[in-house]
């Protein structure tokens, strides 16, 4: 299968998606080359248009936005005009939307009032995630190629002073049934760029993500997408420049297709982390990741599971002891350059002491994993190794298959760290075990 550089594909489709008026055609036609696990619903026709007013002087435009959304809900299109900047300084609950398009041609800027947003952003009940707004309902499309700007710099600096603050996610897709997001430009999110929770049948297509810190304080936890308790989601044809997971499948993500992404500076395409909360059951099942370009990253394919005992990764990120499973996950076709690990599978996430991890093996099982058709070069960080596949117990991992991995380190080696896993299914050079 010929590998096509995804950056060209993604940039080409950024302009294509915006021309699709109202997304009245089937969303399935826009998915490619692979199709979603289940058919995506077709949008109903739109028969009215509302233009959003703007104060134009830096004043909160939230009331104008709500007015237009209410006026054109149930069969209309709301236009954010190209020559305007819209200010949002109020947390907006948009889960009432039905059969509506949001065409964003201009720029939407969220205020930098950190005190307000910490008190009023929507708490999502997972890893301290909050969102500026909640986009939900049924048959909602948001596109147009315009910009959403999270004004993240003030948050990056504040987080460096206090890592327990609540930083909003730029786009919260919460309880959406049927929708298309993109093309859009997303800039300077305080935390994740997307949090997709309790949603189904949603297509993300043509998303351009970028936003680094302009100070010495890093823009941390800026995942491109985190999916959570969601099913039949497609993420494709996008360019992601960030500092954390390009895409992360959080607990109870099922039937997820990710294809044609260009990721730079990230932590890879990740399953997890899972098993963080004792007493909860986390499931990730039926995930297909296809045709990814990964540059300057910590990982390409990554499965990260907490051990069975308590662990602390960071002051605001600790846990362990949860149960569940990772099953039927495929990574197919990837090009990597300057990536620490081409493949990383760990059941000791958050626990650096391997002995302690093995004494408290993970309560989650990992099975039916297929990783194939990788090529490229790692960074020097883990020389001579290019991958690590380590389970906390041989009883917790089964049927992990790795093949056609044409990846070398800068010094020309292609060695793997392998432990507590069936090495006969790994068509790689397992030359070391975890210590």
Which pLDDT tens digit goes with each residue over 401-410?
Answer: 999 999 999 9
Output the furthest CA–CA distance in the chain (Å, rounded): 66
What is the pLDDT of the chain when averaged over all its residues? 93
> pLDDT tens-digit profile of 289-315?
999 999 999 999 999 999 998 888 777
Mean pLDDT of the region 224-246? 98
pLDDT given at position 19: 36
pLDDT above 60 (res 115) = yes
Residue 20 pLDDT greater than 70, yes or no:
no
Kindly give the pairing relationship between strand 317-319 and strand 311-314. Answer: antiparallel
Start-to-end CA span in the chain (Å): 38
pLDDT of residue 313: 76
Q: Token pair for residue 216?
A: 């010495």
How confident is residue 254, by pLDDT bands cut at 50, 70 and 90?
Answer: very high
With pLDDT > 90 as the criterion, what percentage of the chain qualifies? 86
CATH 3.40.50.970 matches 6-37+113-432 = no
Cβ burial of 216 (10 Å; 0-12, 13-18, 19+) is exposed
Just list the catalytic residues: 267
Strands 171-181 and 200-205: parallel
pTM metric for this prediction: 0.94
Give the integer Cα–Cα distance in Å for 138 and 198.
12
Which pLDDT score, from 0 to 100, does residue 163 have?
92
Q: Which pLDDT tens digit goes with each residue over 179-206?
A: 999 999 999 999 999 999 999 999 999 9
Work out the number of other CB atoms within 10 angstroms of the CB of residue 229.
18
């Amino acid at each position: 299968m010929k590998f096509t550089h995804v950056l060209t594909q993604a940039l080409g489709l950024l302009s294509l998606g915006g021309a699709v008026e109202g997304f009245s055609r089937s969303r399935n036609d826009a998915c490619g080359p692979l199709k979603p696990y289940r058919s995506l619903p077709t949008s109903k026709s739109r028969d009215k248009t509302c233009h959003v007013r703007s104060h134009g002087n830096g004043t909160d435009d939230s009331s104008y936005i709500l007015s237009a959304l209410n006026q054109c809900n149930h069969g209309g299109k709301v236009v954010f005009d190209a020559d305007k900047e819209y200010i949002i300084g109020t947390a907006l609950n948009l889960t009432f939307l039905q059969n509506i398009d949001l065409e964003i041609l201009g720029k939407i800027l969220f205020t930098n009032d950190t005190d307000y947003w910490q008190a009023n952003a929507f708490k999502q009940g997972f890893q301290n995630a909050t969102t500026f707004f909640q986009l939900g309902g049924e048959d909602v499309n948001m596109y147009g190629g315009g910009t959403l700007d999270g004004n993240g710099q003030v948050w990056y600096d504040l987080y460096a002073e206090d890592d327990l603050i609540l930083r909003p996610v730029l786009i919260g897709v919460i309880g959406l049934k049927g929708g298309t997001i993109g093309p859009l430009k997303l800039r300077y999110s305080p935390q994740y760029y997307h949090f997709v929770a309790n949603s189904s049948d949603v297509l993300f297509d043509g998303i351009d993500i970028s936003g680094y810190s302009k100070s010495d304080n890093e823009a941390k936890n800026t995942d491109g997408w985190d999916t959570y308790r969601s099913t039949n989601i497609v993420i494709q044809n996008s360019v992601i420049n960030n500092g954390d997971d390009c895409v992360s499948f959080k607990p109870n993500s099922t039937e997820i297709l990710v294809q044609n992404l260009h990721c730079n500076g990230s932590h890879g395409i990740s399953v997890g982390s899972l098993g963080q909360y004792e007493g909860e059951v986390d499931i990730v099942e039926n995930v297909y990741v296809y045709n990814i370009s990964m540059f300057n990253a910590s990982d390409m394919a990554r499965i990260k599971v907490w051990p069975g005992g308590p662990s602390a990764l960071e002051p605001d990120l600790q846990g362990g002891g949860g149960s569940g499973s990772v099953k039927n996950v495929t990574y197919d076709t990837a090009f990597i350059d300057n990536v620490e690990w081409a493949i990383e599978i760990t059941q000791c996430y958050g626990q650096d002491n391997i002995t302690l991890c093995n004494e408290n093996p993970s309560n989650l099982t990992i099975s039916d994993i297929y990783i194939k058709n990788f090529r490229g070069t790692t960074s020097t960080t883990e020389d001579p190794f290019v991958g690590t596949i380590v389970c906390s117990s041989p009883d917790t991992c089964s049927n992990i298959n790795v093949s056609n991995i044409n990846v070398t380190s800068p010094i020309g080696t292609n060695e793997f760290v392998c432990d507590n896993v069936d090495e006969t299914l790994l068509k790689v050079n397992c030359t070391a075990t975890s210590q």
